[in-house]
Amino acid sequence: MSDPSISLVIVLYGKRAVTERGLSSLEQALDGKLGRDVELVLVDNASPDDTGELLDAWEDRATVIRNEVNLNFAGGCNVGARAAAGGVLVFLNNDMEFLPGAIEAVAATAGQDGVGAAGARLLFPDGTIQHAGVLWVANQQGPAMPQHVFHHEAGDLPAAEAVLELDAVTAAVLAIRRELFLELGGFDERYRNGLEDMDLCLRVRSRGLRIVYRGDIWMIHHESLTRGVDNSASAHNDALFQARWGQLCGSDDQLAGEAYGGRLTVRNGLPLVPHDWTSGATLSLEGHLRALSAEAAESRALLIALELAGLAPCARDRLPAWLIADLAEHEEACLKLAESRVRSPTALRIEVPVGSYYSAGRRTADVLRLAAAPAHRAHLAGITAVWAATPAVAEAIAALGVPSERVAYLPPLILSPPAGAGGAGVLALLPGHDLETCEDALAQLRSEGALRLLPSVLTPDLARLAVELVPNAEMLRPTTCEAVYAGYAADADGVLCLDAADGFDRRALIAAAGGAAVATLAPGPAAEVLGSELVTLRDAGELAKAAAAVVERGQEGRARRSAAVGAACSPAPVGTRLAELVASVAAEADVFAQARTKPVDSS
């Protein structure tokens, strides 16, 4: 083959079927580039099965290296890198599935000036996150250690889709210039299948080069299908890593706040929760309760609504995370109280699913709180009731064949924020994970007067765009705290809600409750509550017109907008409605239990 621009290095140890599936996916994704522009280097670490026969079939398309002994991941990768000819190395696990263009994009990023290495967003086969970058998190037993951020959270979590500069990415997909890799001495072979990638990335960073996490690119990773888990090796790797880097690596608290608007937390295993008991709480809110997502914010508001209604719920966070939302004191107090309560084994379980992915097979909730109808009725299998954020969503769910008596409209709870006088111009809520949308929005807002920008995630690319396109705008730090956001919104004449991930329109409704004029991308809960008071963007090209409209309305009708939100979304009406819905579900509990045992028509 001619000199390739990219060399893919894959180390193998047994599990022939896994490797065969991965290579087939790779071949399809590269669509004829394999063997021409892209070199494949397969390194067999003395596999104990018939992997050698599979390699025989790839001799004409790949450089095949057969080690006589198992050199572990680090040693195998180093052997493959020395044999490779491409200018950029891309190390890949063999238990991967690829999308067209993904490998080339990661390799191109690694080849940019000032970049030392690059990685991508990796999803488990069930659609949840395996890797979305790495943050250093404080450890009560010793120095801060690297942790996969957003592990097992929804695969389309907006914060995970951002492009960020981090200290490390996983070597399951890691691109680096071959010359740099060899200069650094490759992976440290003292590590035994773990932390060698973190060590390499820190050595890259010590050269003053950037590590880029490409959250806009994703692949499927069947984690640890090849080698499994070795606890003794993990202890060895931890000790080696801490001896080299322990005194140099501090917790990424600043990054968690400045980039994501959240905060890091220290975990020691799974949290202790009370055991179920027959006299426990009869309502339980479950799911991702402290996460950064808009759905998690709705979960917390729903929990507060249940508490204020006197329903004494318990709460169970199914996915304790390293990076969590920065909560106001009243939110944290409500969560801790609910988590401390004993749960009845027969408790009614309520969940706000995160992202567009529904996993009916793993769901244990009785009631779903939804901002949109799912794509298929099968996604509602086993569900006894749905509380929809708008009447239109309730109708769409009923149209899927769910009995109408099990579907109800429930507006979001909005705690009344302090009324604001406005006067600070436009506040634009930007989807920091979607740079193309942000660029278009900033270009249209170039001529605005007073302008403040509040991104969902603050990336280096977005910061540079803002300086270039709207140099006089104020870039605010992201926040996941609704109380902090309410203060920003109350100061604004108008708020442009440009983040489509906020399906419950919580930020639009909070802004209107504080008096600001509001524009959103599409009709949703805010349109249901505000009616003609809401400016709805019919297409992206209307942003400048919408900005002018919210400024014009900014000082007129502030009390009217606030009153509209209060009438529909304050604790009194929402609590009354919740009590009615809970009573309705409880009254039919036996009927629902019988219905859950029947198969659901998924057609």
Residue 535, beta-bridge partner list: 519
- CA dist 503 and 431 (Å) reads 13
Q: What is the pLDDT of residue 117?
A: 98
Percent of the chain at pLDDT > 90 equals 76
Percent of the chain at pLDDT > 70 equals 93
In tens, the pLDDT along 143-152 reads 899 999 999 9
Mean per-residue pLDDT, 180-189: 98
Q: What is the pLDDT of residue 594?
A: 44
User: Phi-psi category of 104—alpha, beta or left, where left has phi over 0 and alpha has psi -120 to 50?
Assistant: alpha
Which residue blocks in 206-348 are alpha helix, DSSP H? 231-245, 253-255, 294-308, 329-340
Give yes or no for a contact between 145 and 199, defined as CB atoms under 8 angstroms apart. no
Q: What values do phi and psi take at 183, rounded to 5?
A: -60, -35
Take residue 581 and report the two structure tokens written for it.
């819905």
Give yes or no for a contact between 119 and 106, defined as CB atoms under 8 angstroms apart. yes
Q: What is the pLDDT of residue 589?
A: 58
- CA dist 152 and 590 (Å) reads 33
In tens, the pLDDT along 32-57 reads 899 888 999 999 999 999 999 999 99
Q: What is the pLDDT of residue 360?
A: 45
Neighbours of 539 (CB within 10 A): 7
Q: What is the pLDDT of residue 224?
A: 63
What is the number of H-type helices and E-type strands within the chain?
20, 26
- CA dist 116 and 183 (Å) reads 12
Mean per-residue pLDDT, 212-228: 83
Q: What is the pLDDT of residue 447?
A: 77
- The CATH code of domain 426-568 reads 3.40.50.2000
In tens, the pLDDT along 354-410 reads 887 555 445 578 999 999 998 888 888 888 899 999 999 999 999 998 999 999 999
Of 57-71, 369-383, 523-537, the poorest mean pLDDT is in 369-383
Residue 213, beta-bridge partner list: 119, 164
Measure the CA angle with vertex 540, ends 462 and 569; round to 5°: 90
Measure the CA angle with vertex 165, ends 164 and 169; round to 5°: 95
Neighbours of 450 (CB within 10 A): 15
Q: Under DSSP, is residue 51 helix (H, G, I), strand (E, B) or coil?
A: helix
Mean per-residue pLDDT, 250-270: 86
- In CATH terms, the fold of domain 6-251 is Spore Coat Polysaccharide Biosynthesis Protein SpsA; Chain A (3.90.550)
Give yes or no for a contact between 586 and 348, defined as CB atoms under 8 angstroms apart. yes
Neighbours of 576 (CB within 10 A): 11
**Would you say residue 187 has pLDDT above 80?**
yes
Q: Under DSSP, is residue 386 helix (H, G, I), strand (E, B) or coil?
A: strand
Residue in the block written with tokens 């263009």 = 101
